[in-house]
């Protein structure tokens, strides 16, 4: 009999390393409301828009003339519920169509919803979330609801929210507090409205970036007494965790599927939609040759671009060379390239000195997990002019007339992994997970991959009893040992039922 995927777990772990989430200094005065839209001074958001890889290039609401703050509006859905704060509830029908389209491109999550909704593995779960509010996230939220969870949600980025999708969620009964173009004050106000509600205590956190976790820790620390775990795309960790956390960003299928194959398609899609650029003959430098960088380089090379790669890791660098790419330092090619793409997850990869030396019309965009890679703050100086060209596209103009094209970040999110990680942490028996950061159990990682296979009419070969015994494996997996990593130096460890093992590295990895 095949095991229930949400019953997979472990019995013993090593816990000698206790990584913690590290946050930037953040404001906590959220009652003052500025009259103008401000800029959020956080690592997750820069002074440009950000979106998931399959989000619409131009939001339905971009041309809206309504400048009234959603905080000043009294809105209710068709059932009379007003426990939300969004731009315009009247856009719900349009948002619903976007969600339905997204469902067609998320077969694994839809398969999980179909398989598990009868058992309600999240019955009783009260999930407070802070992620990008897009059609893809809406599919995740509705899946969690179908599996029994109650959800309250805010946006992790002030620019990426699809207002029409937020309206559809609110119309569907979800407590959503998000709109595109929030000020920093609005951002923290929305998070507080998610958390601080009479008669509702969250017991699970789903957090993209750590801002929600930080807010609860600073303002409502007693809530952690009832919170069973955190599911998060964790980047930098330090300090002490009071509950278990599962790092879904570094799961194997996220790295090998989303980061490689999805980014291979989304880089072309994102650039085409926002700039209408032709790739043939263009000189492109891709910073970082991890999974995201590999996908970007493969797509650009196939379109006829001349691709250069920058790397700090000699192993990734050797891979780039063996794949036929020229390994360079950024300053060696910065004057001649037409496109600069960052894929490192690091900070200050492209700095003002690089930006000053770029040619007229150079396109600069970020594909990495956090948008600190391009030093956009250095461009906010009096001598430079910013011109909004279209949604998610800015021209930055120098005094001599030179301009660069600055794009929003494009990346993918681990929606199926998030759902399974929530199920795992919520249903784990007492003591299974300590106050550490964990990777998704490899058995569950393989389950995520298996959910995608029916889409391709793919048929897995099964081991015979003799073959399984020869390899020392269970016929149903997992098929790789816990120490086997597709990427290195990731945040979190993957526990084993037979031998405790702490993941060997917690430092930032050079390429995503």
Residues comprising the binding site for substrate?
134, 208, 233, 254, 258
Cα distances from 234 to residues 135, 209, 314, in angstroms, run: 22, 6, 25
DSSP string, 177-228: E--TT--HHHHHHHHHHHH-BTTB--SEEEESSSHHHHHHHHH-GGGGGT--
Cα distances from 104 to residues 56, 400, 455, 461, in angstroms, run: 15, 48, 10, 27
Distance CA 494, CA 432 (A): 12
3-state secondary structure 131-145: ECCCHHHHHHHHHHH
CB atoms closer than 10 angstroms to residue 351? 13
Buried b (16+ CB within 10 A) or exposed e, 233-250: bbbbbeeebebbbbbbbb
Mark the binding-site residues, compressed into ranges: 134, 208, 233, 254, 258, 290-295, 311
Mark the binding-site residues for NAD(+), compressed into ranges: 290-295, 311
Helix (H) or strand (E) run with residue 418 in it? helix 415-427
First-to-last alpha carbon distance for the chain, in angstroms, is 37
Our CA dihedral for 467, 468, 470, 473, rounded to 10 degrees, sits at 150
């Amino acid at each position: 009999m095949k095991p229930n995927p949400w019953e997979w777990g472990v019995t013993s772990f090593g816990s000698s390393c206790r990584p913690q989430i590290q946050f930037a200094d953040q404001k906590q005065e959220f009652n003052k409301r500025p009259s103008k839209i401000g800029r959020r001074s956080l690592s997750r958001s820069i002074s440009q828009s950000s979106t998931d890889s399959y989000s619409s290039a131009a939001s339905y609401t971009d041309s809206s003339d309504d400048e009234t703050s959603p905080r000043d509006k009294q809105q209710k859905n068709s059932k009379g519920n007003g426990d939300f704060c969004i731009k315009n509830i009247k856009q719900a029908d349009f948002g619903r169509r976007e969600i339905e389209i997204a469902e067609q491109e998320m077969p694994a999550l839809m398969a999980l919803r179909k398989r598990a909704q009868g058992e309600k593995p999240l019955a009783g779960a009260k999930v407070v979330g802070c992620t990008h509010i897009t059609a893809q996230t809406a599919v995740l939220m509705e899946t969690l609801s179908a599996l029994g969870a109650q959800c309250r949600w805010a946006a992790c980025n002030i620019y990426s929210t699809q207002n029409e999708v937020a309206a559809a969620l609110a119309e569907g009964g979800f407590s959503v507090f998000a709109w595109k173009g929030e000020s920093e004050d609005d951002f923290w106000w929305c998070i507080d409205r998610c958390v601080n509600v009479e008669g509702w205590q969250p017991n699970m956190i789903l957090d993209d970036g750590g801002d929600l976790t930080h807010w609860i820790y600073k303002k409502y620390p007693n809530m952690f007494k009832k919170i069973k775990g955190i599911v998060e795309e964790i980047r930098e960790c330090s300090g002490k965790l009071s509950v278990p956390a599962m790092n879904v960003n570094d799961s194997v299928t996220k790295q090998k599927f989303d980061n490689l194959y999805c980014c291979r398609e989304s880089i072309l899609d994102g650039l085409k939609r926002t700039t209408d650029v032709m790739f043939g003959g263009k000189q492109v430098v891709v910073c970082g040759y991890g999974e995201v960088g590999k996908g970007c380089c493969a797509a650009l090379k196939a379109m006829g671009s001349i691709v250069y790669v920058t790397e700090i890791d000699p192993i990734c660098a050797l891979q780039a060379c063996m794949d036929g790419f020229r390994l360079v330092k950024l300053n060696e090619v910065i004057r001649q390239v037409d496109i600069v793409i960052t894929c490192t997850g690091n900070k200050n990869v492209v700095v003002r000195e690089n930006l000053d030396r770029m040619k007229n019309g150079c396109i600069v965009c970020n594909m990495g997990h956090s948008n600190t890679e391009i030093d956009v703050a250095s461009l906010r100086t009096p001598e430079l002019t910013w011109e909004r060209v279209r949604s998610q596209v800015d021209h930055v103009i120098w005094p001599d007339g030179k301009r660069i094209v600055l794009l929003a970040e494009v990346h993918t999110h681990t929606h199926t992994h998030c759902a399974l990680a929530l199920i795992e942490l919520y249903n784990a028996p007492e003591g299974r997970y300590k106050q550490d950061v964990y990777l998704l159990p490899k058995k569950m990682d393989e389950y995520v991959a298996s959910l995608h296979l029916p889409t391709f009419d793919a048929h897995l070969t099964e081991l015979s009893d003799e073959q399984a015994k020869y390899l020392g494996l269970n016929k149903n997996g997992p098929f790789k040992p816990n120490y086997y990593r597709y990427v290195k130096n990731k945040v979190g460890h993957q526990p084993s039922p037979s031998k405790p093992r702490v993941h060997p590295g917690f430092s930032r990895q050079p390429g995503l």
